[in-house]
């Protein structure tokens, strides 16, 4: 389990990194925390010709307030996000999610942006970022562009990033007023990829009815899967246990089309999806009432 | 593809300069280039935790980092816990593992110690659940973890006075 | 005697080296001119090798040699049969087919080595393995063990008509008569699937041929260095004294490292001689999932005949055992299953028939428990089911069937894996059950807690399983003990060690006999140049067999010490005592001589050693038990099943264990804890998933789930000591015990938690997914909604 050979560059500025990405294009792969890429290389399932190591880019490691929300540099370590008082304050859903990502040894090295750009369908952050309407800033030598989560996550391990582009920043906008949030996942062991996981937000209107809700699953498809029919059914409703139950049923049976594997059959995944939807919608509703 | 890179890495306080191939895993560098074989390799895909080292003070898996990435950084391994590997000079954490029989084959032990050293600094009085969570990224196949948990409790008590 | 170490919770002698990173493991052995090996392994489970093209690999820079089966010439031979079938079982069929160093003509499992690449680094060797092209004409893979024996299954070994590897029938009394007398006959089919030992250290070999000294040194992660030395010498045409095998510190064994010979063990020494350079192969984790042996696949059809008051009249079971592609380890595992289905119970009539099937999967050899847990699973499940039918408590039905303490030695009248009749030497089972019932709070749980919690919607359950473990089998182990001029004592034994604490427990035995500090007893083990004879560490035998050999040698050295000291101190031997590293006259402590001085006197530089005496304070002894000694115990646990997610939490775990006289309770507790953890892994986390083509779907630690600190509960342990009459120390083995009943007990607790409306669970391992399916099968999900 030794990785194949590659050419290695360790730029110290973003401009330099973008030059390498532009010069090597398809041959190059950016190396962020490497906590998924290097194991994959050790199994020789990935054989990039060139690695552009982004770990020297101090300019991409930051957590800053941004218009009521938070802006996170792509090379910020997951452990820093987990420990950030600003994140805990401004975007507590992310704060609550971080400990579910693998183990501290991985989060010490793994980066926030690397996790998102890897787009593992079983990973927590893409789903959470989707639920929070995160925006992604991609940059290349020729310029930058902003993408929504829907635009950014394209397919299994595939983002909308062009070969010469790097994800440089993620902005998490603030939650609207009267909004609650929740996250939960079922995994075999602590730190494992989830069998099924879900992030939810619920916004109530003045009269306490559901104004809007988001329910975004992971580990049930090729990328984060939003249960749009379930949440549509909740709009304008009183979020009673019965209404939540009904929405959970829709989510599990209509919104998702989960795969079966050795750890969870299709039926079991649907079942868990329903159980989780009930839990997170109820928890998010309770928080929305307090907000 | 085989361009060698010159790197300088400080391990257990000593600076080493070496030429490495970019693909050389940090674990292999520590073990076979530097000869510090107390860091063990159990899975080479970042799950078992045996290869855990301190990288700039934080525990990381050395099997899923490249040696070239350690250029200019500071590493601590199990060998750095004690000046001379004698019984008298064991670090309280090491002594506690011995006291509680927190190791059997000893293969995973270095990774546990490197995980626990910063944990105990941040959590001087951890609960059993805290300890179990802290070591949940390190797999031990011999002990069933109970004596490791006991060892950490003893270590916490010992280290608090320091 | 100043201090008595035997029975004390002594801290381990070996820990300091391990805790400071100074313990030598095979991969720590490095030489400047060392070569490195990687293998091209079969990607197909079954098929004919049509073409092997290694030219690109040979041309790669840094590659030194590339070998296929053809290149081995006459050195290419199937491996030895490690354990032949017991000659005393009549009518036994055994089709010996053992593994080959590199596949020739045919491949029989995914991962079987086909080409060996030798290069200047492991990185380059892996690059070159990727350059190799092998064309395989695929055959249908034989994966399911029941289908393996069907007529239309393609034979894995072409010279056999079928995939039948072995067929064995053993009986005691007459089961059919038992059925006629029975009030109740229970019939069930039970399944047990594969797992892997997953020692944290993978296997590894370093071989160094030194042409000038004409010696081969091999560092090997083996549990049996002496047997490897003998075999290598024979294969390579060398004297045993030219071959030194060192099994240094080993990062966990658990059985698969006793397998001999792995292809790599045959190939590395050969290549080192051929290339005249030191050479290393370290198995990586992915390889470990294919190249290291596995265990546990069995399917049982069981019948239990009982009276209406719950007394077992007879047990019958037919089972198929998954042998994998080759059966180098003979019948050890299924014979253990056969013996352990009898459990600690007096079963007057027994009929047990098994077939071993060849399958296109990695080789099966013992892994901690070695088939015993299958037997325990069968009898414990059957007793529980019978108890339900008869409206008895699970405790009571066990109590009514235990072999009584006065019935020992108890002869089960079948042949055990050590070829000796299965005779339990000693035991006292009921008090252990009582203690476990008390410790787990059985009555209170059943009467108060469970009804209360179930009423709150919590699915809590309790499981209790009793077991015996045949341990400490022969043939023998030996030891040489020497008092050195420093006064320190050295002990050499051939057994090898993988974390069991031998450096300490054996030192305790010696320290007591010779009156020295336990830290002044230095053990060398696992180095064939230090001790020539022995078998290895397996079958929970280290403490029993090597421990007694060491005890015996220590007794001899003590005699020599007393004899010589008697002369020097001019005192009768019976007036002398050994303490604090000295021999002294009782009551006159100033009349003393320290052991070091005595050792020098026993090995003088002038003056002749008298005829009929030997120099030095040294003795070598051997211990070879005629049959194994039977340890026993009871595990009990309480679980909670989340009815929504089917995740299971172990709330409480109790072990009551009887392994005779305990040398070091601290080490024993550790052995039990680790065993239980592996047992629970086996029960709920660990399963090797092969698809119908024989591809392993979870060959990584991402997908093969080892229990973590959050998955293994805190355990409480109670000890009993029923001494073994079969050895002077009265000890029984303990290494595997923790792992044996844990999974069966877990299944019972989960079934109990799911209640009357829940499924009857007849398989191991479980998982949340599998529980969900089982529960759905009986409609529990609807009911709880």
Domains of chain C: 15-21+474-623 (3.30.365.10), 35-152 (3.90.1170.50), 161-194+294-402 (3.30.365.10), 201-291 (3.30.365.10), 420-471+630-785 (3.30.365.10)
Instruction: Identify the bridge partners of residue B25 per DSSP, sorted by sequence position.
Output: B66
Average pLDDT of chain B is: 96
- At residue C146's C-alpha, the angle toward residues C145 and C148, to 5°, is 60
**Interchain contact, B78 vs C17, CB within 8 Å:** no
Cβ burial A198-230 (10 Å sphere, 16+ → b, else e): bbbbbbbeeeeebbbbbbbbbbbbebbbbbeeb
Among B141, B149, B151, B155, most C C-beta atoms within 10 A, so best to mutate, is: B141
In this complex, is the C-beta atom of C130 within 8 Å of any C-beta atom belonging to chain A? yes
Residue pairs spanning B and C at CB distance below 8 A: 185
CA distance A265 to chain C (A): 7
Intra-chain end-to-end CA distance of chain A, in Å: 51
Domain boundaries, chain B: 5-81, 92-160
Instruction: Say which of C123, C685, C708 has its CB closest to residue A2.
Output: C123
- The fourth-level CATH superfamily of domain A179-290 is CO dehydrogenase flavoprotein, C-terminal domain (3.30.390.50)
Distance CA A136, CA A121 (A): 18
Contacting B residues, span 85-124, partner chain A, CB-CB under 8 Å? 115
Tell me the pLDDT band of C778, cut-offs 50, 70 and 90: low
Chain C residues lying within 8 Å of A280, measured CB to CB: none
Domain boundaries, chain A: 7-53, 58-172, 179-290
Q: CB-based burial of residue B109 (10 Å sphere; 0-12 exposed, 13-18 middle, 19+ buried)?
A: buried
Chain B residues lying within 8 Å of A39, measured CB to CB: 44-46, 64
Q: Which chains does C contact via 3+ CB–CB distances below 8 A?
A: A, B
In this complex, is the C-beta atom of C652 within 8 Å of any C-beta atom belonging to chain B? no
Query: Averaged over C694-715, what is the pLDDT?
Result: 97
Using one digit for the tens of pLDDT, what is the confidence trace for C100-119? 999 999 999 999 999 999 99
Whether residue C3 is predicted with pLDDT greater than 80 in this model: the reply is: no
Residue of C nearest to B47 (CA): C701
Specify the fold of B5-81.
Ubiquitin-like (UB roll) (3.10.20)
Using one digit for the tens of pLDDT, what is the confidence trace for A109-121? 999 999 999 999 9
Instruction: Identify the bridge partners of residue C544 per DSSP, sorted by sequence position.
Output: none
- What is the dihedral angle through the alpha carbons of C237, C242, C243, C244, rounded to the nearest 10 degrees? 180
**Interchain contact, A4 vs C127, CB within 8 Å:** yes
Closest by Cα among C625, C619, C624, C649 to C637: C649
Closest by Cα among C194, C684, A76, A189 to B138: A189
Query: Averaged over C395-399, what is the pLDDT?
Result: 97
Chain A residues lying within 8 Å of C769, measured CB to CB: 195, 263-265, 268
Q: Enter the CATH code of domain A7-53.
A: 3.30.43.10
Stated as kind and residue range, the H or E segment containing C595 is helix C595-601
Predicted TM-score of the model (pTM): 0.97
Instruction: Identify the bridge partners of residue A181 per DSSP, sorted by sequence position.
Output: A201
Quick count: other Cβ atoms within 10 Å of Cβ B49?
30
- For C692-725, the three-class secondary structure string (H helix, E strand, C coil) is CCCCECCCCCCCCCCCCCCCCCCEEEEEECCCCC
In this complex, is the C-beta atom of B129 within 8 Å of any C-beta atom belonging to chain A? no
**Interchain contact, C677 vs B143, CB within 8 Å:** yes
Strand pairing report for C133-138 and A7-9: unpaired
Q: CB-based burial of residue C137 (10 Å sphere; 0-12 exposed, 13-18 middle, 19+ buried)?
A: exposed
Sheet holding C715-720, edge to edge: C459-471, C629-641, C648-658, C715-720
Average pLDDT of chain C is: 95
Which parts of chain A sit beneath pLDDT 70?
none
Cβ burial C392-427 (10 Å sphere, 16+ → b, else e): bbbbebbbbbbbeeeebebebebbbbbbbebbbbbb
Instruction: Say which of B64, B66, B133 has its CB closest to residue A39.
Output: B64
Whether residue C443 is predicted with pLDDT greater than 90 in this model: the reply is: yes
**SS3 of residue A279 by DSSP:** helix
Using one digit for the tens of pLDDT, what is the confidence trace for A19-59? 999 999 899 999 999 999 999 999 999 999 999 999 999 99
Q: Which chains does B contact via 3+ CB–CB distances below 8 A?
A: A, C
Per cent of chain C over pLDDT 90 is: 91
In this complex, is the C-beta atom of C15 within 8 Å of any C-beta atom belonging to chain B? yes
Contacting A residues, span 165-224, partner chain B, CB-CB under 8 Å? 189-191
Q: Which chains does A contact via 3+ CB–CB distances below 8 A?
A: B, C
Chain C residues lying within 8 Å of A44, measured CB to CB: 126, 130
Whether residue C383 is predicted with pLDDT greater than 90 in this model: the reply is: yes
**What is the DSSP annotation of C169-186?**
EEEES-HHHHHHH-SEEE
- Determine the pLDDT at residue C781: 44
Q: List the helix and strand counts (H, then E) for chain A.
A: 12, 14
Q: Among the listed ranges C106-115, C284-293, C541-550, which one has the minimum average pLDDT value?
A: C541-550
**How many whole angstroms from its chain centre is CA C617?**
35
Using one digit for the tens of pLDDT, what is the confidence trace for C572-630? 999 999 999 999 999 998 999 999 999 999 998 777 777 777 899 999 999 999 889 99
Using one digit for the tens of pLDDT, what is the confidence trace for C84-95? 999 999 999 999
Residue of C nearest to B31 (CA): C28
Instruction: Say which of A43, A186, A262 has its CB closest to residue C697.
Output: A262
Using one digit for the tens of pLDDT, what is the confidence trace for C736-751? 999 999 999 999 999 9
In this complex, is the C-beta atom of A146 within 8 Å of any C-beta atom belonging to chain B? no
- Determine the pLDDT at residue C538: 81
Would residue B156 be called left, alpha or beta, if left means φ above 0 and alpha means ψ between -120 and 50 degrees? alpha
Tell me the pLDDT band of C2, cut-offs 50, 70 and 90: very low
Using one digit for the tens of pLDDT, what is the confidence trace for B1-19? 678 999 999 999 999 999 9
Query: Averaged over C719-733, what is the pLDDT?
Result: 94
- Determine the pLDDT at residue A291: 83
Asked whether A277 and A185 are in contact (CB, 8 A), the reply is: no
Looking at domain B92-160, which CATH architecture does it have? Orthogonal Bundle (1.10)
**Interchain contact, B68 vs A38, CB within 8 Å:** no
CA distance A19 to chain C (A): 30
**Interchain contact, A104 vs B23, CB within 8 Å:** no
Whether residue C784 is predicted with pLDDT greater than 90 in this model: the reply is: no
Residue of C nearest to A275 (CA): C644
Q: Among the listed ranges B127-141, C73-87, C315-329, C524-538, which one has the minimum average pLDDT value?
A: C524-538
Chain C residues lying within 8 Å of A190, measured CB to CB: 708, 710
Using one digit for the tens of pLDDT, what is the confidence trace for C461-515? 999 999 999 998 889 999 999 999 999 999 999 888 889 999 999 999 999 999 9
Helix ranges restricted to H, chain A: 14-24, 37-42, 78-83, 85-90, 92-97, 104-107, 112-118, 124-131, 149-152, 228-234, 241-250, 266-290
**Interchain contact, C708 vs A188, CB within 8 Å:** no
Distance CA C321, CA C308 (A): 32
In this complex, is the C-beta atom of C674 within 8 Å of any C-beta atom belonging to chain B? yes
In this complex, is the C-beta atom of C223 within 8 Å of any C-beta atom belonging to chain B? no
Specify the fold of A58-172.
3.30.465
């Amino acid at each position: 389990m030794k990785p194949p050979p590659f050419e290695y560059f360790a730029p110290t500025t973003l401009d330099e990194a973008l030059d390498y990405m532009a010069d090597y294009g398809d041959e190059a792969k950016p190396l962020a925390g490497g906590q998924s890429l290097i194991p994959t290389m050790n199994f020789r399932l990935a054989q990039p010709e060139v690695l552009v190591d982004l770990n020297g880019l101090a300019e991409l490691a930051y957590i800053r307030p941004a218009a009521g929300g938070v802006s996170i540099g792509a090379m910020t370590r997951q452990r820093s996000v987990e420990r950030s008082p600003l994140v805990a304050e401004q975007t507590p859903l992310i704060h609550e999610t971080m400990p579910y990502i693998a183990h501290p040894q991985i989060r010490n090295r793994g980066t926030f942006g690397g996790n998102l750009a890897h787009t593992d369908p079983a990973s927590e952050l893409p789903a959470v970022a989707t639920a929070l309407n995160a925006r992604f800033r991609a940059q290349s030598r020729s310029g930058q562009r902003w993408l929504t989560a829907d635009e950014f996550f394209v397919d299994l391990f595939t983002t909308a990033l062009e070969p010469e582009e790097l994800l440089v920043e993620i902005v998490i906008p603030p939650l609207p007023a009267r909004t609650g949030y929740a996250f939960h996942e079922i995994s075999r062991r602590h730190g494992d990829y989830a069998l099924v996981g879900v992030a939810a937000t619920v916004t109530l209107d003045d009269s306490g009815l559901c104004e809007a809700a988001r329910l975004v699953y992971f580990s049930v498809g090729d990328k984060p899967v939003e249960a749009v029919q379930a949440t549509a059914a909740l709009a304008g409703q009183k979020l009673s246990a019965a209404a939540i139950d009904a929405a959970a049923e829709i989510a599990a049976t209509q919104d998702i089309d989960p795969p079966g594997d050795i750890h969870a059959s299709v039926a079991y995944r649907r079942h868990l999806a329903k159980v989780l939807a009930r839990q997170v919608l109820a928890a998010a509703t309770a928080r929305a009432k307090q907000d | 593809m085989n361009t060698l890179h010159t790197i300088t890495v400080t391990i257990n306080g000593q600076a080493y300069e070496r030429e490495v191939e970019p693909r050389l895993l940090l674990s292999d560098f520590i073990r076979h280039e530097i000869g510090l074989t107390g860091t063990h390799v159990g899975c080479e895909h970042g799950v078992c935790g045996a290869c855990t080292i301190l990288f700039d003070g934080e525990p990381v898996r050395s099997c899923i980092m490249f040696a070239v990435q350690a250029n200019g950084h500071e590493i601590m391994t199990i060998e750095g816990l004690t000046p001379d590997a004698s019984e008298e000079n064991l670090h309280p954490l090491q002594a506690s593992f011995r006291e509680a029989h927190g190791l059997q084959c000893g293969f995973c032990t270095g990774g546990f110690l490197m995980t626990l050293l910063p944990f105990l600094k941040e959590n001087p009085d951890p609960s059993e659940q805290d300890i179990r969570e802290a070591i949940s990224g390190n797999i031990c196949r011999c002990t069933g973890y109970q004596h490791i948990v006991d060892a950490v409790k003893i270590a916490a008590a010992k280290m608090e006075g320091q | 005697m100043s201090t008595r170490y035997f029975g004390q919770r002594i801290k381990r002698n070996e820990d300091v080296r391990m805790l400071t990173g100074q313990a030598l493991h095979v991969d720590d052995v490095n030489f400047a001119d060392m070569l490195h090996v990687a293998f091209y392994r079969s990607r197909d489970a079954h098929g004919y090798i049509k073409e092997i093209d290694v030219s690109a690999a040979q041309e790669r820079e840094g590659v030194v040699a590339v070998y296929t089966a053809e290149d081995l010439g006459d050195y290419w031979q199937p491996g030895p049969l490690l354990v032949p079938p017991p000659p005393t079982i009549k009518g036994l069929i055994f089709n010996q087919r053992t593994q080959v160093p590199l596949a020739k003509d045919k491949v029989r499992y995914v991962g079987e080595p086909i080409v060996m690449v030798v290069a200047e680094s492991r990185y380059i060797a892996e690059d070159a393995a990727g350059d190799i092209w092998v064309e395989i004409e695929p055959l249908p893979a034989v994966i399911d063990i029941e289908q393996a024996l069907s007529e239309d299954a393609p034979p894995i070994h072409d010279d056999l008509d079928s995939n039948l590897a072995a067929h064995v029938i053993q009986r005691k009394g007459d089961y059919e008569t038992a059925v006629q007398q029975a009030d109740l006959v229970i019939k069930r089919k039970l399944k047990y699937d594969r797992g892997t030992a997953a020692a944290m250290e993978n296997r590894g070999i370093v071989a160094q041929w030194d042409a000038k000294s004409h010696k081969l040194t091999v560092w090997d992660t083996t549990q049996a260095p002496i047997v490897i030395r003998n075999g290598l010498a024979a294969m390579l045409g060398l004297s045993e004294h030219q071959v030194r095998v060192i099994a240094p510190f080993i990062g966990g064994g658990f059985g698969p490292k006793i397998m001999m010979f792995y292809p790599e063990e045959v190939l590395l020494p050969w290549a080192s001689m051929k290339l005249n350079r030191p050479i290393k192969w370290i198995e990586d984790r992915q390889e470990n999932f294919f190249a290291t042996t596995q265990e546990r696949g069995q399917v049982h059809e069981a019948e239990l005949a009982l009276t209406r008051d719950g007394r077992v009249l007879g047990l019958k079971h037919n089972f198929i055992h998954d042998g994998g592609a080759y059966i180098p380890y003979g019948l050890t595992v299924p014979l253990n299953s056969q013996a352990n289905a009898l459990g600690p119970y007096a079963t007057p009539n027994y009929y047990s028939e098994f077939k071993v099937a060849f399958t296109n999967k990695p080789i099966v050899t013992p892994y901690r428990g070695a088939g015993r847990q299958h037997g325990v699973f069968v009898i414990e499940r059957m007793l529980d089911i019978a108890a339900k039918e008869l409206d008895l408590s699970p405790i009571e039905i066990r109590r009514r069937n235990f072999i009584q303490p006065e019935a020992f030695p108890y002869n089960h009248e079948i042949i055990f894996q050590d070829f000796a009749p299965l005779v339990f030497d000693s035991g006292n089972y009921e008090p252990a059950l009582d203690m476990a019932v008390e410790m787990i709070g059985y009555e209170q749980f059943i009467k108060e807690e469970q009804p209360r919690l179930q009423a709150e919607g919590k699915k809590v359950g309790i499981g209790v399983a009793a077991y015996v473990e045949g341990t400490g089998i022969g043939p023998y182990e030996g030891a040489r003990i020497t008092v050195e001029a420093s006064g320190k004592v050295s002990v050499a034994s051939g057994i090898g060690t993988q974390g069991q604490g031998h450096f300490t427990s054996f030192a305790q035995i010696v320290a007591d006999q010779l009156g020295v500090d336990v830290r002044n007893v230095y053990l060398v083990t696992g180095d064939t140049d230090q001790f020539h004879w022995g078998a290895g560490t397996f079958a929970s035998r280290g403490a029993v067999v090597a421990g007694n050999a060491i005890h015996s040698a220590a007794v001899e050295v003590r005699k020599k010490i007393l004899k010589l000291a008697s002369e020097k101190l001019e005192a009768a031997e019976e007036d002398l005592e050994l303490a604090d590293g000295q021999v002294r006259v009782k009551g006159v402590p100033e009349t003393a001589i320290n052991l070091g001085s005595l050792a020098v006197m026993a090995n003088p530089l002038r003056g002749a050693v008298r005829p009929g005496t030997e120099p030095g304070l040294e003795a070598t002894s051997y211990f070879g038990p005629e049959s194994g000694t039977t340890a026993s115990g009871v595990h009990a646990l309480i679980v909670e099943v989340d009815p929504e997610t089917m995740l299971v939490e172990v709330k409480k775990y109790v072990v009551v264990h009887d392994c005779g006289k305990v040398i070091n309770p601290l080490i024993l507790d550790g052995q039990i804890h680790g065993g239980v953890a592996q047992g629970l892994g086996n029960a709920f986390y660990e399963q090797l998933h092969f698809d119908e083509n024989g591809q392993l779907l979870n060959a990584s630690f991402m997908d093969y789930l080892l229990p973590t600190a959050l998955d293994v509960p805190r355990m409480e342990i109670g000890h009993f000591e029923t001494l073994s009459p079969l050895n002077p120390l009265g000890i029984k083995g303990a290494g595997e015990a923790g792992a044996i009943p844990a999974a069966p007990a877990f299944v019972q607790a989960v079934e109990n938690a799911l209640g009357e409306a829940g499924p009857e669970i007849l398989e191991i391992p479980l998982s949340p997914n599998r529980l969900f399916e089982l529960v759905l099968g009986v409609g529990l999900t609807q009911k709880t909604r």
